[in-house]
Structure 1
Amino acid sequence: MSVPMSPRIAKQHCLNSTQLAFLVIILLVIYAICLSVYNGLFHPLASFPGPLSHQISVIPRLVYLVTGRLPFHVADLHVKYGSVVRISPNELAFCEPQAWKDIYGHRQQGHEEFSKYLGFYRPIKRKSPASIMSAPRHDHALLRRQLSHGFSDRSMRGQEPIIGFYVDLLIKRLRHHGGGGVKALNMREWLNWTTFDIIGDLGFGSPFGCLENSSYHPWVSAITRIVKVGSYIQALYELGGIQLVTCMVNSGIWRSRSEHKKQVHAKLIQRIQLDTERSDLIQGLLRSQDSLSFDQISAAAATLIVAGSETTATLLSGVVFLLAKNKDKLALLTKEVRSTFDKDDEITLSSVSCLSYMLACLNECLRMYPPVAIGLPRVVPKGGAAVAGEFVPEGTIVGVWQWAINHDERFWADPWEFHPERFLDNDNPRYQNDLLDAMQPFSTGPRNCIGKNLAYAEMRLILAKIVFNFDLQLADDSKEWLGRQNVYFLWEKPALHVHLTPVSQ
């Protein structure tokens, strides 16, 4: 038989609960103050410069992260504090060419490599294997060996008809939809559709149908959303760790991720059922099904879809904008392309390699508008290590931020201006002191981008075909296109409207 609680006891019970909650808040405040004092004065990184707010708390960094302004903010901090800046309690940003080699390069025998920071590369606890981006050293080496077949010179020659088909389809669609240059086309979409169709065929044996239908495939739209959501996932990881992130994701809040995984599995099964030898990107993986599981192959293929499409489309969008914005540079490129080729079908993956000014334009765009503008974080190994002449304690998160180093006045003349000439082999005194090694858009070392050569060939072919077939002019609403963007892991690109006037050959 229960005894009813007297009003006096109930009131006392309520009061005790309030006092307990107040005590918890007080303890949390004291903990936060003590942690801030430790981070600011006694932390192993306390001697490195940076804003006090960033030194004592991760919150300021996360605010810039989720608002898409972090790379620009880091660049500003380097201007104020120097080549190494503490951007959160346990993270340093470096802006020195030597830091590329020290952090990402090959390590001497007996020296442990800087491991990838899993809070960025793998913030979710998963049963599935790691992708090539997040795999530990041994697994990464195995995956890379198998993938290297698809990126060899021999395979690229076999891929040329596939790539050429979609580039020709792009030109055909642009002619059809452009209205003779009267209608401004959204080149961001057309370039995205092209690169996704190409990577779909090279990776899975069939395109997404974007160019054919002149629209986004639902999966492609989901992939572009995942990129932005990834910043929020990383922020949650920094605040609550992997358990919080895993709980949130497993709750179903990130449906695009599970949909992406299902689509990859379905496409991969479709590719396997082709049961034929193809010069595509995953043929080497499929040959290794005895040593690689289906999930490992699927994870590698999923990475190829994003890394091999969105980044290429971003760079192409950037170079179209920068050329159309700088008409004198566009005129030089147009002259090079149209004086080299007499007919459209002369433009191939092989023949575009002779276009030196075009390569300089692409490199200058990679400098001014790097598809990955952030710093790819690594963790200093046990015992600590020297980075750009600074000893950094073990466990510290470090990285070189591409936007910052690519616009540093110490390394580049006129860093905010588009000058492809700096990448030409000439004696122009204006650019003689530029440090070209400061720019590493494909990273460096044993984990650099395996698709670098394919990306260059694909970008050269697409840009050459566009410039050969059309005169370009920016629409009025896109003249400030680059300045209106935020960047997360990749850029959040607005529409890029360009008038394309067909050229009579």
Structure 2
Amino acid sequence: MHLWLQVVGVVLTFRLALSIYHHLTSTLRHVPGPFWARFSRLWYFHRVWRGHFEQDNVSLHNKYHSAVVQVAPNWYSCTGPEALKEIYAPGSKFTKSDWYDGWKHPDPDQWTLFPDKNMKRHGETKKRFAAMYSLSSLVSYEPFVERCVTLFANRLSEFSESKNGIDMGYWLQCYAFDVIGCITYGERFGFLDAGEDIENAINAVGSIPEYSTLAGIYPEWHPLLYKITSRLGGSGSGGRNFVRQFAQTRIAKHKQQKVDLELSQEPFMTKMIRAHREDPEKVTDYHMFMMAQSNVIAGFDTTAISLSAIIYFLMKNPRVMQKLRCEIDAAVQNGSLGGGRDNAVTFQQSQSLPYLQVVLKEALRMHPATGLPLWRVVPKGGFDLDGLHFPAGTVVGANSWVTHYDPEVFENPNEFMPERWLDQDEDKVKAMNEMYMPFGLGSRTCIGRHISTLEMAKLIPVLVRDFDFSFATADQDWETENYWFVKPKNFRVHVSRRNTNVYEEKRM
């Protein structure tokens, strides 16, 4: 045992000495950052493990007044329009870093769209399925979303009769999970019926980000950690195995059913089955499994977080809530909003509400769902930024929280001000749009962003139109936790039905 401790001590000493040597000989040794971040990934690991790195990241750039900050040996957080254009522009040769390995199965033959580092394969796959996620496909998905909006509104009506507060963040997870089930398979999972975590699915999917985020910082340990933790209940790798099995079971069930391939309103899996039957080599069984699994993992938390943020900032800013409500009430009165089945709001109707659009945009600026840098590897030849030359192999990345809170681009960035997007200064709005990245940027922009937009656009007008919300606790600032997704914790609110005389008058 004593000998083993000596060996470990020698190895750690050697690695520390090597890190010091690399730092002292690096052309980037003058880049500002925490002292220990220059020699070990432990500083970054510890800060991410604490669960608030989006705040740490913003503070680092503000503290050092620098567009580039070091967070680990050879890892640099960047911000500014030049960095974003260079790193994430369409056609960029900056590949995803090894950090994304923590999000994939250790088997090299198994891959999914989000963590895939193979740029050619990713491009081919995204092109193959892009039409299923396009704006034009929203028409076929809208009835599925509508079912869940109606059921969610019914649940809130029931809660309004009780004086007990509800965890709004959790119920929005139920909504998002049921929507993605409807869109993917044509049937809800059933979370909205009683708010129960059916088959432990919410907990299983929720356990993935913490494991993947931390394992990605030390990706060389991921295969061993995955093997060990996959046998543990509640672990991230165990959660990933759960989602894999869940997707396989659902696909098998869906394939056994008689599917009408002529339906105009069809779920994602029906589209996949049609494509598979037309060309089994182009759309394989693995493609169906991989995309269905990705839908659940990527399409559940992000949308629930964004919806929570919208409600939270509206509650915190009564002026904005009132202004949005006036826009919605006016649309109801003139007949341009609602009026369909269950007085639902169509996606097209929501697009005619300009203030609603900027409220959604501003909420996602202030609280983007992801809260870590989007790590990329500098390609051959390196690149220059802020007077620095980054050699090939350097890991660089921008965090949407840092770009969205840049005071040089967003005036009073800590203020929830949707009107900033209606500014008449086109150059100012253009500069903000260039730094706006709630769904990522470039070729790796989230493929499901239009589906998330559809869910928000249909639900928020109904909630604002039909309900009042108030905080259920004296402290009106929520608590969040960041393991890639910046999730609210115990977002408790009181719900009450609004006085809807204005709608009754309209219907009469």
Q: TM-score, normalized by length of structure 2?
A: 0.87
Gaps of 5+ in 1: 1-16
Structure 1 residue 473 displacement after superposition: 1.9
Counterpart among 86, 90, 100 of residue 120 in structure 1: 100
More off after superposition, 252-261 vs 374-383: 252-261
Counterpart among 392, 407, 410 of residue 409 in structure 1: 407
CA contact (8 A) 1:321 1:474 kept: no
What does residue 14 of structure 1 align with?
none
What does residue 488 of structure 1 align with?
483
Letter in 2 for 1:480: D
More off after superposition, 269-278 vs 414-423: 269-278
CA contact (8 A) 2:28 2:388 kept: no
Rg (Cα) greater in structure: 1
Distance 1:246 1:309 in 2: 23
Distance 2:426 2:493 in 1: 32
Letter in 2 for 1:194: Y
Structure 1 residue 96 displacement after superposition: 0.7
What does residue 216 of structure 1 align with?
197
**1:87-110 superposed Cα distances (whole Å, 9 cap, x missing partner):** 110111101122222111123xxx
Asked if 1:325 corresponds to 2:316, the answer is yes
Asked if 1:132 corresponds to 2:116, the answer is no
CA contact (8 A) 1:474 1:497 kept: yes
Paired residue secondary structure (2:494): strand
What does residue 443 of structure 1 align with?
440
For residues 156 and 50 of structure 1, do their structure 2 counterparts lie closer, same or farther at Cα, with a shift above 3 Å needed? Answer: same
Structure 1 residue 44 displacement after superposition: 4.7
CA contact (8 A) 2:216 2:222 kept: no
Distance 2:272 2:386 in 1: 37
Letter in 1 for 2:189: F
Counterpart among 186, 202, 212 of residue 205 in structure 1: 186
What does residue 173 of structure 1 align with?
155
CA contact (8 A) 1:118 1:134 kept: no
Letter in 1 for 2:11: L
Paired residue secondary structure (2:268): coil
Distance 2:295 2:137 in 1: 16
Asked if 1:265 corresponds to 2:252, the answer is no
Counterpart among 24, 33, 40 of residue 23 in structure 2: 40
Structure 1 residue 223 displacement after superposition: 0.5
CA contact (8 A) 1:77 1:85 kept: yes
Counterpart among 49, 73, 89 of residue 89 in structure 1: 73
For residues 60 and 205 of structure 1, do their structure 2 counterparts lie closer, same or farther at Cα, with a shift above 3 Å needed? Answer: same
Paired residue secondary structure (1:374): coil
What does residue 126 of structure 2 align with?
144
Structure 1 residue 25 displacement after superposition: 5.1
More off after superposition, 342-351 vs 203-212: 342-351
Structure 1 residue 310 displacement after superposition: 1.1
Structure 1 residue 196 displacement after superposition: 0.7
Q: Percent identity?
A: 24
Paired residue secondary structure (2:489): coil
Distance 2:69 2:470 in 1: 41
CA contact (8 A) 2:39 2:73 kept: yes
**1:347-389 superposed Cα distances (whole Å, 9 cap, x missing partner):** 2111111111111111111111110121111111122223566
What does residue 304 of structure 2 align with?
313
CA contact (8 A) 1:86 1:93 kept: yes
**1:459-494 superposed Cα distances (whole Å, 9 cap, x missing partner):** 01100010111122222256111xx22211112321
What does residue 90 of structure 2 align with?
106
For residues 21 and 183 of structure 1, do their structure 2 counterparts lie closer, same or farther at Cα, with a shift above 3 Å needed? Answer: closer
Letter in 1 for 2:435: A
Distance 1:499 1:221 in 2: 24
Distance 1:212 1:114 in 2: 45
Gaps of 5+ in 2: 504-508
What does 1:14-93 align with in structure 2 at a 5 Å threshold?
Answer: 18=2, 20-21=3-4, 23-24=6-7, 27-28=10-11, 30-81=13-64, 82-93=66-77
What does 1:367-386 align with in structure 2 at a 5 Å threshold?
Answer: 367-386=365-384
Asked if 1:418 corresponds to 2:416, the answer is yes
More off after superposition, 204-213 vs 325-334: 204-213
What does residue 4 of structure 1 align with?
none
CA contact (8 A) 1:123 1:234 kept: no
For residues 166 and 30 of structure 1, do their structure 2 counterparts lie closer, same or farther at Cα, with a shift above 3 Å needed? Answer: closer
Paired residue secondary structure (1:308): helix
Distance 2:47 2:474 in 1: 27
Structure 1 residue 336 displacement after superposition: 0.8
Letter in 2 for 1:418: F
What does residue 506 of structure 2 align with?
none
CA contact (8 A) 2:165 2:494 kept: yes
Structure 1 residue 290 displacement after superposition: 2.5
Distance 2:93 2:430 in 1: 31
Counterpart among 267, 290, 308 of residue 280 in structure 1: 267
Letter in 1 for 2:440: S
What does residue 357 of structure 2 align with?
359
CA contact (8 A) 1:406 1:439 kept: yes
Structure 1 residue 190 displacement after superposition: 1.8
Distance 2:9 2:449 in 1: 54
Letter in 2 for 1:502: R
Distance 1:48 1:71 in 2: 20
What does residue 244 of structure 1 align with?
224
Distance 2:380 2:189 in 1: 45
Paired residue secondary structure (1:299): helix
Asked if 1:300 corresponds to 2:280, the answer is no
What does 1:155-166 align with in structure 2 at a 5 Å threshold?
Answer: 155-166=137-148
Paired residue secondary structure (2:393): coil
**1:392-431 superposed Cα distances (whole Å, 9 cap, x missing partner):** 11111111011112112122111111111111244699x7
Distance 2:181 2:168 in 1: 20
CA contact (8 A) 1:352 1:464 kept: yes
For residues 33 and 186 of structure 1, do their structure 2 counterparts lie closer, same or farther at Cα, with a shift above 3 Å needed? Answer: closer
